[in-house]
Amino acid sequence: MPDQAGSNRLLSRVPVVFWAVTVLVAILDLITKSLAFRRLPDLESAPIVLVRGFLQIVHSENRGGVFGLGQGSAAWLLFAAVAAVAVIWFAHRRDSRPLLIQLALGLILAGALGNLYDRIAFGYVRDFIDVVYWPGRHWPAFNAADSGICIGAVCLAIYALFLAPKPAPKPDKKSGRR
């Protein structure tokens, strides 16, 4: 019988999927930002139209937070750093072993790190994907890091709503039945 000492530890072994997704998506984010901003060096650069009337690559500098909220606030640096530490801690917990959770947390951490890097290196987040959802109406520009965070959040919601184990019913105090 294998030794079971320490089997009740809070933290698990290194979550390989989590770290692989984190590294790959963070690298993808930094490469795509670099390519877009090399091609569109300033705010006056003409957009690169990918799908006329729907999708284009632009030069956008987000100095705020989510969707440009809180412009100029340094609090986003602190928030991103704390969020990154929290995600790493959750990814290493024993109850965070399901593949979908590891994937989701890796996407979220990669996004947080990609945008944190931009804030430290440039003073703003480099956004470049511009979606027109209605003639003349644009969704706020975003990047691969933002996509990772959103996809990761959706994966966590799917797990929580449909895949997470259901808690055992509590015994009925009067009859002692479940």
As a whole-number percent, the residues of the chain with pLDDT over 90 amount to 65
127 is catalytic: yes
pLDDT at residue 96, as a whole number? 80
130 is catalytic: no
Between helix 99-122 and helix 75-91 the angle, nearest 10°, is 150
Catalytic member of 42, 127, 130, 172: 127
pLDDT at residue 175, as a whole number? 61
**Number of CB atoms found within 10 A of residue 124's CB:** 17
pLDDT at residue 170, as a whole number? 82
Torsion angle defined by CA atoms of residues 61, 65, 69 and 75, in that order, rounded to the nearest 10 degrees: -120
Low-confidence ranges of the chain (pLDDT < 50): 1-7
The answer to whether 119 touches 78, Cβ cutoff 8 Å, is no
Tokens encoding 1: 């019988």
Tokens encoding 11: 């933290």
Helix (H, G, I), strand (E, B) or coil at 107: helix
pLDDT at residue 6, as a whole number? 46
CA distance 112 to 114: 6
Catalytic member of 29, 118, 130, 146: 146
pLDDT at residue 95, as a whole number? 80
CA distance 29 to 152: 15
The answer to whether 112 touches 84, Cβ cutoff 8 Å, is yes
